[in-house]
Amino acid sequence: MSKEAFFIKGDRSGLSLQIPEDLEFAEVINQLRTKLASAHHFFAGATVVLTEGVRKLEPAQKVVLESTIKEFGMQLETKQIEQKPESTPVRTDETLPDEETLLQRRTIRSGQKIRFSGNVVIVGDVNPGAEIVCSGDILVLGALRGVAHAGCNGNTEATVFAFRLEPTQLRIAQYISRAPDGKVPLPLGPEVARITENVIRISAYS
């Protein structure tokens, strides 16, 4: 039996949601969809308060979580919990502000191009001939078969994720990877591309 992805309970502010820090985000979303669907819109109109303590979601993950909750007629709010100071001081000069995230609930068709300063989340496919260019991460909840350029401002920490990662061209910062010639095996599941040792490497997302 898989670990419970979250704890949800009612209180005066609505519904409180807490997510364990050691569980994959994809499993969190799968379990959340199952639980809300089984409630048959019982929670429709309620406010879900996400409590962020040790587990902090990335901007793109928050967009996906909010999108999932809105599908069931609910609203998401975020509540921060102050953490006790660590024994080792935190270097505040290394803390970067969260980037903005653009959410597109549609298929990006051939000839269409999206440019954005921040992260881009596509709930749909990116068809061949389409292009996504952004300064942050690219997250495609579907098939990515067009051109994807993450970290276009030189951010080598940017990543590209897709349920089916089959781009005609993949770029992260100044690094470029093209689709190999000939027929290649289809991806068996979600994959993520990132820079490793100055090369774009694709690995299974788990």
- Whichever domain contains 134, its CATH number is 2.160.20.70
pLDDT value at position 177? 86
Helix, strand, coil shares of the chain, percent, nearest 5, are 15, 35, 50
Domain-located, residue 86: no
User: SS in 3 state form for 84-115?
Assistant: CCCCCCCCHHHCCCCCCEEEECCCECCCCEEE
Number of domains forming the structure of the chain? 2
**Dihedral sign for Cα atoms in the order 199, 100, 46, 124:** negative
Domain-located, residue 12: yes
pLDDT value at position 199? 92
Is pTM beyond 0.75? Reply is no
Q: Are 193 and 153 in the same domain?
A: yes
Domain-located, residue 96: no
Q: In the structure encoding, which two tokens stand for residue 147, read together? A: 């051109």
Domain-located, residue 128: yes
Q: Give the residue numbers spanning the domain of 150.
A: 101-204
Summarize pLDDT for 61-113 with one digit per residue, the tens. Answer: 888 888 888 887 878 877 765 544 444 343 333 333 456 889 999 999 999 99
Q: How far apart are CA 7 and CA 164, in angstroms?
A: 30
Q: Are 72 and 129 in the same domain?
A: no
Domain-located, residue 88: no
Among 49, 80, 111, where does a domain finish?
A: 80
Domain-located, residue 1: no
pLDDT at 170 over 70: yes
Domain-located, residue 92: no
Domain-located, residue 87: no
pLDDT value at position 85? 45
Q: Are 75 and 105 in the same domain?
A: no
Q: Are 116 and 58 in the same domain?
A: no
